[in-house]
Amino acid sequence: MTRPGRPGGPPPRPPVGPPVSAAEALAEAGRLVALDSGRGATAAVPAVREAASRIPELSADPAALRGQDADRLAALAELCEVIGWILFDAGRYRPAHRMNARALGLARLCGDRWTARLVLLNHSMLTAHTGRPRAALRSAERVAGPRPLPARVTSLVLVRRAHATALLGAHRKPLELMARARSRFLDGPSRRDPHWAWWIDEAELLGHHGWVQARLRRWDRAVPLLYEAVAAPGPAYRHLFTAELLAALAGAGAWREAEDLIARLAPRAAGIGSVRATERLARTAAALRRRPGAPGGVRDAAAFLLESLPA
């Protein structure tokens, strides 16, 4: 994680090279979002590397940019947030952690609370995924501010808290949080919604609701919700919901449904751009191959899926 200069020590060194404008940083963020949404995080990683080599501010200590134009800092914060998300979904967890820290530092320098909140929500997912549910809960709880949040943002905060509490071993609390998330989502969009709230839709909520139910091993509730989420069109990262559906079907012992899903999934598995999804699929397929009582057809399908997944 990037650290500010210590009191009494040398000041942070400013980035070397031509400065990027706010418009250029926002255009780059938009380009990366489109690439990630359409083709997935792994396809976006080379573009992230190219941007990092071209834009020196992406590797600078945020403190070195203190006092610069607020619009430019806000645009850089947004670009760092997008890169942090892509690195996370591409399985680059340590670089994602560092980029989240940089995005948060830049957002705080210019007072961009909405980007700071999105970074905290992303970081909650990252820390939950890497086995730190208490940190995930703290990150989600830091999103609150002096004014009530819009309904969609509140819904997302509740979803992040539900995942973290489920990982911490709670049973009733995650379900209560998801019920509140559903209620707030149904309040609808608001003029106060941040521009990034476009992806908080019905399919997103359904997928996370099913995923939380699966964390609690409530297979009969998880499977229908995940089926519904998977059926809806959406960004490439939502292959993760398909991965969670297969895991839920395996958990429920729904062998025919699991084999059918693998038959539909394996031919296109090599094109899945979410490493989180492919890691989950690989773990489930490996477990199915060893699963006592699993039919031979399911074990064979699981072996085929393992061979079909990208390295």
pLDDT band at 146 (very low <50, low <70, confident <90, very high): confident
The answer to whether residue 160 scores a pLDDT higher than 50 is yes
* pLDDT reported for residue 145: 82
- Percent of the chain beyond pLDDT 70? 94
Gyration radius of the chain over CA positions: 20
Amino acid, single-letter form, for residue 208: H
pLDDT band at 17 (very low <50, low <70, confident <90, very high): low
Are 175 and 216 spatial neighbours (Cβ–Cβ below 8 Å)? yes
pTM of the model as a whole: 0.90
* pLDDT reported for residue 67: 83
pLDDT, average across residues 150-155: 95
Sign of CA dihedral 181, 183, 187, 188: positive
* pLDDT reported for residue 18: 66
Are 214 and 284 spatial neighbours (Cβ–Cβ below 8 Å)? no
* pLDDT reported for residue 103: 97
State the average pLDDT for the chain. 92
Are 69 and 22 spatial neighbours (Cβ–Cβ below 8 Å)? yes
pLDDT band at 220 (very low <50, low <70, confident <90, very high): very high
